[in-house]
Structures are given as C-alpha cells and as structure tokens.
Amino acid sequence: MHLDSIYGKLERCLACIREKVDFVPQTVLVLGSGLGNFADQIQVEAELAYREIDGFPVSTVAGHAGKLIFGYLEERPIVCMKGRVHFYEGYDMEDVVLPVRLMKLLGARTVFLTNASGGVNPDFAAGDLMLITDQISCFVRNPLIGPNVEELGTRFPDMSEIYDKELCGVIRNTAKEQGIALKEGVYLQLTGPSFESPAEVRMLRMLGADAVGMSTAVEAIAARHAGLRVCGVSCVCNQAAGMTEKPLSHEEVQEAADKAAPLFTKLVKESILRFS
Ligand code: HPA
C-alpha cells in the first residue's frame, strides 16, 4: 500500500501545474508516434516539461521526451501530451494512467488518444489510419486495481462504450469530408516491449483484434472511470509479426509513422475542430 494516495499525488501534480499555468483545456490530445509535431498546429500559450511536475512520470524511451503543450486550435483550448509513459518501462500502472487522470483535474472533458500499432487485420497495410471503436485490455493489468479513487469515479465503472459513439461519428465524417481513408477496428494492448510472435498474432486475430500496440487501452479505462469522453485513432505502422517475411523494428515503425504524419495530423486537427 502506498503512503501517498493516488488522489493526493494527483492534487500535488495539479498544484504544481497551477503554480505555473492557469490554462483550462477542453480536449486532451495524447500524441503517439507520428504526431510529435502536432503542436505546430496550435497557438501555444504555455509549455511545461513533465520533469517540472512533481510526481509526474517521466518517460525513458528515446523520442518520447515529455511535455505538456497548452494552446488554442483555432478557438479551442487544448493540451497536447507530447510523450507518454509505457508499462514496459517499468512504471506502476497507476503512474501510466496518472497523466490522463490529471487532465480531468485540469478541467478537460474529452481525451483524444493516438498511437502506433501493428496491423493484425489482413486488410490493413502499413500507413493506414484506424478509428478505434473498441478495445481489448485484459492482457495487461487493469489500471483501476487497488483502492478505488472515489474522487474520480465508481468502483465498477461501465465499459460498454469506451470510445464515444458521437466522437467516433465526427472522426468518421471528418475523414470522409477531407478525403482521408480511415479503417476502423478493435485495438488490443499488450505489455511489450517485445513485438509479438506470429503465433500470438494469429491468436489476437482469433480474439477479434484488428491492431495491436503497447499503450492506450489502460489510459482509456482510467479516462472513462473519471468520466472523460474518449476517442482514438491508431496509425497502423506495420503488418504484425508473421504477416510478412520481414522482421519488425522500432525504426520501421517510426518511419511509417513519420510518413503517415501529415494525413494523421490533418485528420486529428479537423476532427477536434468539429467536436461539440
Ligand atoms: N506490435 C505492437 N506494437 C506495435 C507494433 C506491433 O507490431 N507496431 C507498432 N507498435
């Protein structure tokens, strides 16, 4: 059991941010691979490095240097989370989901999750964007295990519509309107950091997964627990293990994400502008 309660830690993080920044975001955008430069799209009001926030988990992965970027996307107040921490880095699950919970305390109402994934659905190709319509998270530790954080939500939260149907509809319509091809499907989170074996990928396909990755689903659970509206888009960066002859590498994933970045950026930006 921790000496410091989860909510106590969140309040400390919040106080630390509020000493420096008074911005109240409406939407939180968690930037996955490929969207690292999304902040170029916004009128930046303030930036805060994760390491400046007392108790905020700081990522160790190269290319995931973390900061919060507050600003306006046209008139919309948003905060971008540039860099996230992953369970495979060795953090407790409660630290992995701390940032998303903190965003609720900052005043946000909607979370837009983005990530890179491997395509499990044989109809998906590298570079495809996938609207996340549902998820499978039961291979990773549930982020709500432990004493319930009553201040945030209920002990047994409903998860029958994790990804908000209305927001999904907006993203779907935006893609159509902007001429951006958009797949849809179920995202499945594993712990990583190793990529899957071909047998695991076959198993995941049988289970109903369309894309596999190492983030997002636990953040979505914590966000829903706290009453945030959630949506997400995944950049399918490679076909999952065993679907091609090629071995997988982080470099290949990064390259595909960078290539998809312009369309990914456009879809996310135009969608957020259409959120109610
Ligand atoms: N598997 C898991 N996570 C990933 C993959 C993958 O193939 N590609 C990008 N992130």
Strands 76-82 and 183-189: unpaired
CB-ligand 1 contact for 99 (6 Å cutoff): no
- The one-character DSSP state at 109 is -
Is residue 199 annotated as a catalytic residue, yes or no?
no
**Can you tell me the mean pLDDT for 90-96?**
94
For residue 174, the Cα-to-chain-centroid distance in whole angstroms is 20
The model's pTM is: 0.95
Catalytic residue list contains 89: yes
- Please say if the pLDDT value at position 151 is more than 80: yes
Ligand 1 centroid – CA 236 distance (Å): 8
Q: What is the mean pLDDT of residues 168-184?
A: 97
Domain that holds residue 78: 3-274
Give one DSSP letter per residue of 199-262, joined into a string: HHHHHHHHTT-SEEESSSHHHHHHHHHTT-EEEEEEEEEEEPTTSSSSPP-HHHHHHHHHHHHH
214 lines ligand 1 (CB under 6 A): yes
Helix (H, G, I), strand (E, B) or coil at 189: strand
Q: What pLDDT sits at residue 202? A: 98
Ligand 1 proximity of 29 Cβ (cutoff 6 Å): no
Q: pLDDT band for 36, please (50, 70, 90 cuts).
A: confident
- Quick one: pLDDT band at residue 1, thresholds 50, 70, 90? very low
- Name the residue of 61, 253, 254 whose CB sits within 8 Å of the most ligand 1 atoms, as the mutation to test its pocket: 253
Q: Distance between CA 82 and CA 32 in Å, rounded? A: 8
Number of domains in the chain: 1
Q: Looking at residue 151, which CATH number applies to its domain?
A: 3.40.50.1580
Of the candidates 88, 184, 255, 261, the residue annotated as catalytic is 88
Strand ranges (DSSP E) for the chain?
27-31, 43-49, 67-73, 76-82, 110-119, 128-136, 183-189, 211-213, 229-239
Give distance in angstroms: CA of 63 to centre of ligand 1: 16
Whether ligand 1 lies within 6 angstroms of the CB of 217 is answered as no
- Beta-carbon contacts of residue 219 (< 8 Å; ≥ 6 apart): 30, 84, 96, 97, 99, 100, 111, 113, 143
* Ligand 1 pocket residue status of 119, Cβ below 6 Å: no
Mean pLDDT of 156-181: 98
Atom 6 of ligand 1, residue of closest alpha carbon: 118
Ligand 1 near 213 CB (within 6 A): yes
Instruction: Give how far the C-alpha of residue 128 lies from the chain's centroid of Cα atoms, to the nearest Å.
Output: 17
The Å distance, Cα 239 to ligand 1 centre, comes to: 8
Average pLDDT over every residue of 51-60: 85
Ligand 1 atom closest to the Cα of residue 190 is 2
